Chains A and B, each alone.
Chain A
């Protein structure tokens, strides 16, 4: 019996480990790659601990611009979808019972409609409308921000509506009637009674709507026009060439998210505790911790995390990976040198063997071709130091190569690619 319990606990533990490993592992590894100096985001081999990818990120105009677009679109979407969601949920409580399920199906459907369909239909509709209304409406109806806000609000309003419906279930419509009865106008009753009651729901719906807007890809990818959002820009980068500055951005987002989640939890616990104190159920005792932290692991973690982030930033200011990089560079050069020598040795052996076989008409030309290649332009092109140097100077604010071009740049000038085995190439290209 006892071993049975142990086995089931073990199974549960392993299952939880796998589940959370699947869920969080990729994010953790992605975050770590932001600090590795390798040009392809990876954790192994670990080259040098570096902050350079953050520098690359902070000087990427396109990313910064897209963040601005995302925020503008996010705010527009929050306003529109929260207003529509609230109105729709209020109408739902009053709609004639016969029509209720039809109505509900219509306003919940956008959640289930694929995002691409929403994006396409929005673009198609407004394009059609602008053709009907003439060129005067063109500028607005083909504006990426306008279309994206509308396209996203179509389904985000449904999410907001669900939040409001849940809250409204606990609302007593008698309160509004009481206010009216006491002489309030409908607007006053709404503002003074219903709105304060809905405030928590409006806050959470707004956060939800903003996050959903910020993250949205499927709809936005059709509607953004000349205003790419952060997600669009990220997708472009990820699709057409990966480099760790994306990891750096991901790391920042992960940290912000963790902060947000923990802050929320800390706030929730604090509120619960306040409630417990009020009811006299909280344990009363003295502690060296200030009240906010007592019995609230989330708050403790929050404070510790803030310290950690400050420390890391401070370290980032003074830390320089130059020395480490130099070492890695030397190691690599030595490695390349070794390989070249090895290769030359092999060729020499082969040449000797060929010579022994007898003269060949095509022999000398081909031999000389590879021979000269093997000697000089070789190291010049493939010397990893070249690349490292570039990304090294890339940390400066002025000239920098487009990050995603780097991996491509390496294989390109290699007419001698055939000389190396593919693994070797990858290694150089990847570093």
Chain B
């Protein structure tokens, strides 16, 4: 549904005293998109959400919803609904009262509210539970009530502030699917805040990766995973092996980097750094564990690294091999378990190969701390 209401952040700065929480954010969110802000805690993503929902004003710049400037419009006048991290269900109200609170404040009659509550309870598969109190529901049920309550307000934009973080793993995975389904059904814009890259990648049309108040990259899940714009994005989204070094040679969109420990490495320059990365620059090369393989006869066209095996772990569907990597850091390689012997034992020297297209090189930068 492309006809939903879009959201734009136009050069938004948010400061608290001397502290800059958000720096020069420029984001365009398409109407009807499932858009995620992904970043570690304290990166300012919740602050952005609060600015969109109207709980605080940007110190600079504009927030536009459906093209309208929201300056001076309070949270109760904006076409947004927010699902809070702790859900913030009203503990003293019954479920149906919670769900239809937005109608109550507009003066709707009890009968109208009851009817609407029943429809929404049907939708979230909680038929007949409307007269319970929130404390009588399970975590996943509360989650769905919070969604129904927000949807009842018929917002143009639904904002979700890490709503799944309190759930256990299994339920979280189930709720991801459910959220995505609901979004597709109602067709409104969802803006989702999370520090869990799995959530962001599975559900979102587009993801913005944030670091310390700065938006590093905006793109599809594939973009940020496969073509990270900065070292931070590369190290934050998914697992990655990092190699540091200096650029020795540039050929088109490929570069040769002299690494500190692992010799000369060939990699693709990440699209946003093409033309920026110069010979002699400090650089970082990233390669994912699943992009590494044991070198064998038919991999002439691939780049190679050799390293010493430190340990090996069997994880059921795959093996993880830890090797002596760059800069004293461990390097990880994962191999699918296809019934073969991993052929890696401690102390053994291995030669690994990788596809140059899977190794990304970019200017050196701050890494996400584990």
Contact = CB atoms under 8 A, between A and B. Distances in A.
Instruction: Indicate if A touches B (C-beta under 8 A).
Output: yes
A181 B102 CA distance: 9
Interface string A185-216: 11010001100110000000000000000000
B287 interface: no
B92 A174 contact: no
Interface residues of A, number: 18
B269 to A, nearest CB: 44
Nearest to B50: A177
Interface string B96-113: 000001101110000000
A179 interface: yes
A318 to B, nearest CB: 51
B80 A184 contact: no
A185 B76 CA distance: 7
Contact of B84 (A177, A183, A186, A197): A177
Contacts of B310: none
Nearest to B106: A183
Given A175-B90, A177-B82, A177-B84, A184 B74 contact: no
Given A188-B105, A192-B105, A197-B92, A181 B86 contact: no
A192 B103 CA distance: 13
Contacts of A188: 105
B93 to A, nearest CB: 8
Interface residues on B, range: 20 to 34
A120 B3 CA distance: 71
Nearest to B80: A181
A172 B90 CA distance: 10
B88 A182 contact: no
Contacts, number: 61
A172 B91 CA distance: 10
B322 to A, nearest CB: 43
A178 interface: yes
Given A177-B82, A178-B82, A180-B76, A185 B88 contact: no
B92 A196 contact: yes
A178 B153 contact: no
B90 A184 contact: no
B135 to A, nearest CB: 11
A174 B84 CA distance: 7
Contact of B90 (A180, A183, A193): A193
A181 B92 contact: no
Contacts of A174: 84-86, 88
Interface in B55-72: 55
A343 B203 CA distance: 112
Interface string B34-77: 00000000000000000001110000000000000000001110
Interface of B: 53-55, 74-76, 80-82, 84-86, 88, 90-92, 101-102, 104-106, 149-150, 153
22 contacts: A172-B88, A174-B84, A174-B85, A175-B91, A177-B82, A177-B88, A178-B82, A178-B84, A178-B88, A179-B105, A180-B74, A181-B82, A181-B153, A182-B76, A182-B153, A183-B105, A183-B106, A184-B76, A185-B76, A185-B105, A188-B105, A192-B101
Interface of A: 172, 174-175, 177-186, 188, 192-193, 196-197
Given A175-B88, A184-B76, A192-B105, 10 more contacts: A174-B85, A178-B82, A180-B55, A180-B74, A181-B53, A181-B81, A182-B153, A184-B102, A192-B101, A197-B91
